Amino acid sequence: MSSRLTRAWSGPARDQLVSRERRWTPAAQPQAVRRFTSMTRLHRQGMRRAFLAVWMIAGCLVACDLLGPSKPQPVETAEAAIAAAKVGFQGVYDKASSQSELSPESVARFEPYTATLQNGWWEVIGTRRSGYQGRMPRARVARTDGRVVVTVDKEDERR
């Protein structure tokens, strides 16, 4: 069986000489193979970038966990105890805004605050104006580690 060569007229192989008989030919043309390999290369690069991003995020999470919250700081002065109490008032108000006695306006109403040290705890109490009958914020701040316990009391409960 002799094979005669003829020109192909369609597709990218139009100017190539091919045999007339049936024979096996690859399914993809060279351009398609090149396109596939470049897509594979891009996919690999994308996977590398995604892998790198995952490792960066994991590293940040580990670093944040290692650093964690700051170590408890002792509260040595009355001014520091008053500042810690005000932060505690705001924190409780942010979590339970129904506590209107701990709103920033209500906390400001009892300025100036005084702090006295008793048994390792700073007692932070606001100044009650004459004629005021109602609840007022009060806090206890631990001298050793700065923990804050916030309460709201009435005039007759005040020590």
State the DSSP string of 28-79.
S-HHHHHHHHHHHHHHHHHHHHHHHHHHHHHHHHHHHHHH-SPPP----SHH
Closest CA to 21 of 4, 43, 39: 4
Would you give per-residue pLDDT tens digits along the chain (159 residues)? 555 555 545 555 555 555 555 555 555 555 555 555 666 666 666 677 777 777 788 777 776 665 656 677 889 999 999 999 999 989 888 888 776 788 888 888 899 999 999 999 999 998 888 888 888 889 999 999 999 999 888 754 444
Q: What is the pLDDT of residue 158?
A: 47
Do 107 and 89 meet the contact criterion of CB atoms below 8 Å apart? yes
Q: What is the pLDDT of residue 123?
A: 95
Distant-in-sequence, close-in-space partners of 76: CB < 8 Å, separation ≥ 6: 143
Q: Taking the complete model, does pTM exceed 0.75, yes or no? A: no
Q: What is the pLDDT of residue 12?
A: 59
Q: What is the pLDDT of residue 156?
A: 47
What is the DSSP-derived secondary structure letter of residue 104?
H
Q: What is the pLDDT of residue 56?
A: 81
Cα angle 94, 96, 101; round to 5: 90
Q: What is the pLDDT of residue 159?
A: 45
Do 8 and 19 meet the contact criterion of CB atoms below 8 Å apart? no
Give the strand pairing for 121-125 and 136-142.
antiparallel
Residue 124 belongs to what H/E stretch? strand 121-125
From residue 6, give the alpha-carbon distance in Å to each of 3, 22, 27, 29.
10, 13, 20, 19
